[in-house]
Amino acid sequence: MASLPPTLDFAKTEEEICAKWEKEQTFKTQDKLSLERGDEEYTFYDGPPFATGLPHYGHILAGTIKDVVTRHACMRHLHVSRRAGWDCHGLPVEYEIDQKLNITHRDQVLEMGVDKYNETCRGIVTRYTKEWERTVTRLGRWIDFENDYKTMDPTFMESVWWVFKQLFEKGLVYQGYKVMPFSTACGTPLSNFEAGLNYKDVRDPALVVSFPMLNEDGSGGSGSATEEVSFVAWTTTPWTLPSNLALCVHPTMTYIQILDVKTQKRYILAQSRLSQIYPIMNNKKKWKPAMAAELY
């Protein structure tokens, strides 16, 4: 402890350590020695970032954790291939180009030509790679930027399809259902990150939707057997309706069947939501219980 200076500039010390590693090629030497020893391979799956944006706190935190895991594997005499990678797929790249070229509709892409549009996208996928390398190196993370990979490389895409084929042939692929953000313009589901690219606070209408019952006599204890009875659902998230698969009822809520006087149709709905069908019931000054007979 006596040899320590009275004050220590941690930032400067970190820069000196990074410079020493760079000068002595410490990372490359460690990797070379590991290969010469024939160390067992340690496979580490690293989701690559988009190079169309600069690194932020989330990247730095995740990158530090990844570096700890791979360094620990190397300390256990395992060989870890640590290549930097860039995610070139998805809407973030297209979003950047659409903003740059003022593209707002699919027809504009077709008019421009898909090949030219794709080439323009390829031109920006490595726009910030140098900034990424500078930041990651400064953080002390050991990763190979010279032999990086890009998800748009044919070899990478073919390897992904090969893996998927192996899973399919082993019966490990199944079709399921999941509610996802969806772009009607692009005709594709969106990741949470993609959905947040153009996030806006907007006012959406609440909707009341009727769902006719199937295989029922429709009488509900009254009326003729030919009358149609529908469930009524109220939603404040109308954009989820295209993917709607089922209706649910609550075991402790009270449901009623009504005959709407105006349409002469029968509906089943939660009793507490009558005021959503008949807004006048929310007006305490005008609403009188006797008026219910005029509505249902």
Q: Model confidence over 39-57: pLDDT tens digits?
A: 999 998 888 888 788 888 8
Q: Is the pLDDT of residue 218 over 80?
A: no
Residue 86 has pLDDT above 60, yes or no: yes
- Higher pLDDT: 162 or 1? It is 162
In this prediction, residue 160 has a pLDDT band, given cuts at 50, 70 and 90, of very high
pLDDT for position 221: 43
Residues 88 and 150: beta-carbon distance below 8 Å: yes
Cβ-Cβ contacts under 8 Å for 219 (sequence gap 6 or more)? 225, 227
Residues 113-118, mean pLDDT to the nearest whole number? 92
213: number of CA atoms within 13 Å, CB side?
A: 20
Triad 76, 77, 78: Cα angle to 5°: 95
pTM over 0.75: no
Cβ(293)–Cβ(278) under 8 Å? no
Residue 252 pLDDT greater than 80, yes or no: yes
H or E element at residue 232: strand 229-235
pLDDT number for residue 2 = 62
